């Protein structure tokens, strides 16, 4: 019998990511804790980063340096970066303390760290794309460090065109792809459950996984 690739892919998706996991209508009771909000707050900050960044890219450097409205959106983009990294670091620390790699979730954990590392590079290229004194200072001071690591030949931080292109297209696309994979893995394996209290034994976990509407 001839193999149907479309059917094979569909069955594989249904097996590894059933609809009840992709779009659940109930959640474990323990996700009511504020600790589980840090991840979605990071995503919310990223969405606002993309919105404000797109507006800045459309109108260009002259606009965000001269126009009052440009100053406003530039400031919103800047503070979105602060919120993005603030909530991401809280999310990483919370998941580390909860040993979020438990239950076969190691790729979810590794993917989160990859997102963090790529985001750091995106932030660096963002500072280098400001076209102001800060960008010049960071570029001049950092070029020797890049050359010392051996990557200065293809990652030239004094090249505005290269840094700007990486910042507004390549790195955001990489972050979005990694985020989609990260969220899909979370849906496949579920959010990690909290540790049971040592005096409560296994009953606490059984109570925590109770579903609620």
> Would the pLDDT of 112 be above 70?
yes
Mean per-residue pLDDT, 66-90: 96
Structural domain spans, the chain: 31-87, 99-191
Q: How far apart are CA 47 and CA 54, in angstroms?
A: 11
Kindly report the pTM of this predicted structure.
Answer: 0.82
Note the pLDDT of residue 197: 45
Contact partners, residue 26, CB within 8 Å, separation at least 6: 211, 212, 213
- Identify the H or E element spanning 211: strand 211-212
pLDDT digits (tens, 9 = 90+) for 9-52: 877 777 777 776 667 777 778 888 888 899 999 999 999 999 99
> Would the pLDDT of 209 be above 50?
no
Which one, of 109, 78, 74, 110, lies nearest residue 94 by Cα? Answer: 109
Q: Based on the number of CB atoms within 10 Å of its own CB, is 143 exposed (0-12), middle (13-18) or buried (19 or more)?
A: middle
CATH of domain 99-191: 1.20.810.10
> Would the pLDDT of 208 be above 60?
no
């Amino acid at each position: 019998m001839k193999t149907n690739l479309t059917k094979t892919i569909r069955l594989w998706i249904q097996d590894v990511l059933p609809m009840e996991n992709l779009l659940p209508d109930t959640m474990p009771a323990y996700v009511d804790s504020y600790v589980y909000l840090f991840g979605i707050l990071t995503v919310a900050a990223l969405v606002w980063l993309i919105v404000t960044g797109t507006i800045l890219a459309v109108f260009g450097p002259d606009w965000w340096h001269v126009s009052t409205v440009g100053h406003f959106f530039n400031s919103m983009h800047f503070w979105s970066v602060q919120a993005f990294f603030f909530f991401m670091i809280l999310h990483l620390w919370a998941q580390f303390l909860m040993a979020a790699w438990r239950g076969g979730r190691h790729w979810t954990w590794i993917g989160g760290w990859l997102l963090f590392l790529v985001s750091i590079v995106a932030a660096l290229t963002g500072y280098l794309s400001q076209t102001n004194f800060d960008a010049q200072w960071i570029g001049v001071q950092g070029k020797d460090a890049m050359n010392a690591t051996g990557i200065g030949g293809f990652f030239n931080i004094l090249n505005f065109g290269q840094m700007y292109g990486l910042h507004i297209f390549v790195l955001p696309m990489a972050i979005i792809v990694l985020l989609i994979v990260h969220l899909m893995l979370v849906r496949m394996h579920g959010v990690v459950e909290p540790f049971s209290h040592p005096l409560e034994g296994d009953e606490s976990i059984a109570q925590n996984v109770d579903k609620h509407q």
